[in-house]
Amino acid sequence: MSRLIDRGAVIAGWVGIGVAVVLVVGLGLVLAIPALVSLSALPAGIAVGAYANVRARRIRPRWRLVANALWAGAVTGLALAVFYVGVRLVFLYADTGRLPDDTQLNCRTGPDCVYARYAAQGFGARLAEDGIVDGATYEAAALNELITTGAVLVGLTLAGAAAASAFQLVSRRSATAPISEEPG
C-alpha cells in the first residue's frame, strides 16, 4: 500500500470514516433529513481529499497527490454509503407498526408496516401511482432507492476528493515546491 498511498492518506481515510459516522448520525438521524447526507457528500470529499495530502505532506510526485486524495475519498464515500444504507435498512426492516398514540397497525414487521404506515397517512394513492401497492413492492422500491443513493454518495464523495486533488495540482505551492519523493 505504501508504494501507492502515503500513510497520511490512510489516516485521512480513517478520519473520513469518522466524518461519515458524524454525517449519518447528525443529519440522517438527529435532524432526520436524509437529503442533507447526500448534500454533504461532496464537501466531505473535498475536505478529506485535501486533508489526505496535507496529512501526508505530499506535494510531489503529482500522481501521488491524486492517489492519496482518491484513496481517502473512496474510504469516506464507502463508509458514508454503508452507514447511511445500514441505518435506512434498520428503519425499513424494524418497523413494527406501533403508532405514536400507542395503537398498532395490522401488518407484518418490516416493509409491510412501513407501507401500511404510509397508506394510513393518506399516501396510498400516491404510492400506487408509482406501482407500490403492498409491502413487497414497497420493499423493492426502497431497496432500489437505497442502492442508488449509496452509489450517489460514493460518487459525490469521490468527485469532491478528485476536485481537491485537482486544486492541489494546479495550486502555486505544489508547482513551486521542492521535489520530495518521500514525505518528511
Spatial CB neighbours of 55, under 8 Å, sequence gap ≥ 6 = 8, 9, 11, 12
Which amino acid belongs to residue 101? D
pLDDT digit string, tens, across residues 95-145: 999 988 889 999 999 999 999 999 999 999 999 999 999 999 999 999 999
- Answer left, alpha or beta for residue 33, where phi above 0 means left and psi between -120 and 50 means alpha: beta
Residue 135 cell numbers, joined: 409491502
pLDDT of residue 6: 75
CA angle 41-137-87, nearest 5°? 35
pLDDT category, 1, cuts 50, 70, 90?
A: low
pTM of the model: 0.84
* CA–CA gap between residue 130 and residue 113 (Å, rounded): 18
Checking if the pLDDT of 182 tops 60, the result is: no
Read off the pLDDT of each residue in 4-22 and give the average, rounded to a whole number.
88
pLDDT of residue 176: 44
Mean pLDDT of the chain: 88
- Three-class secondary structure of residue 13 per DSSP: helix
Provide the β-strand partners of residue 104: 98
pLDDT of residue 37: 94
* CA–CA gap between residue 148 and residue 128 (Å, rounded): 21
Read off the pLDDT of each residue in 62-74 and give the average, rounded to a whole number.
87
Judge contact between 114 and 175, C-beta under 8 A: no
Checking if the pLDDT of 2 tops 60, the result is: no
Residue 144 cell numbers, joined: 432500489
CA proximity to 79, closest of 29, 34, 25: 25
Read off the pLDDT of each residue in 30-57 and give the average, rounded to a whole number.
89
Read off the pLDDT of each residue in 147-169 and give the average, rounded to a whole number.
94
pLDDT of residue 184: 45
* CA–CA gap between residue 54 and residue 7 (Å, rounded): 11
Checking if the pLDDT of 93 tops 80, the result is: yes
